[in-house]
Structure 1
Amino acid sequence: MTRSSTDSEDETGISKHSEPDYSDLEIPVADPSSFSWPQRRADLLDEIYARGHPSLINQTEMAERYDVNQSTISRDLDALADHIDETLGSRRSLASSAVYQKSITGLLEQEEYRDAVRALESWNEWIDEQQDLRELEQRVADLERTEGRQ
């Protein structure tokens, strides 16, 4: 990622104008109320994947767990949806990703390896279709901008 001269880093080394990849952050074995905001969001993302859908997250319980306001958890969930949007595309993708992760885990635990492979192939096809759609949307937007200049 290229940073502009207006980007600055906080004490964690994360640009204030960029978000970390929450799925790659290591979650410490510590009291969740001591987590930094990136660690809290990474832990929330793990919770979403473990439960299978973002709607299964009780924001009040999570606020108590992390010793923050419920509104902070709501903003965290919005930020996670944005994170998934950038990597997959839309809040629906957050739900899709969580359901997929839960499904694969269940299939592997049941030793249903062929079904897990089929689910993976289906997931990869869906990701490819989402990427193709984003590229098409960008081309249309570029054409509309070009047409507007003429």
Structure 2
Amino acid sequence: MIDVSNLTQTQIQQLGIDTLSLTLGPAGMGLFMHQFDLGSGDYTRDRDEILGNPTIEQIVARIKERRISQVESSDVLPKVTNMKMLDVTKLSQAEIRRLGVEALTKTLGHAGMARFMQQFEMSSGDYTRDRDQILGDITLEEIFVSIEDGRQQL
């Protein structure tokens, strides 16, 4: 398990993606993440603008370039290589979700897994309107005490 306490959210996100990809394979990683991604926009309308019209050779070259650059730039992030990739074609969405969460927890620990999954949280409501109800009459000093208490519990 990796100590994620000093990693940025971007580093945790990359480790999570690497872990899911190594454990579930690229297709399984996509299936896992798709369960939590709401998406936005009109991909059918925008895909040519986003992707252009690359040839298969160009796509393969981009993949190879990205893999090489990830290996070269991964000095900050520990490698996750001891997991066996699974064939996800016969798994249900629930099994993919369970295996993905298990792999993330094994690699990142519970806190890291939670931090990775936070990117998929759906927000709703109006914080500006609701903050008084959420926070009550909390003072700045009470906020600092609460933060310090949280730090001491770690």
Superposition TM-score, scaled by structure 2 size: 0.26
Of the two, which has the highest radius of gyration? 2
Structure having greater relative contact order (Cα 8 Å, sep ≥ 6): 2
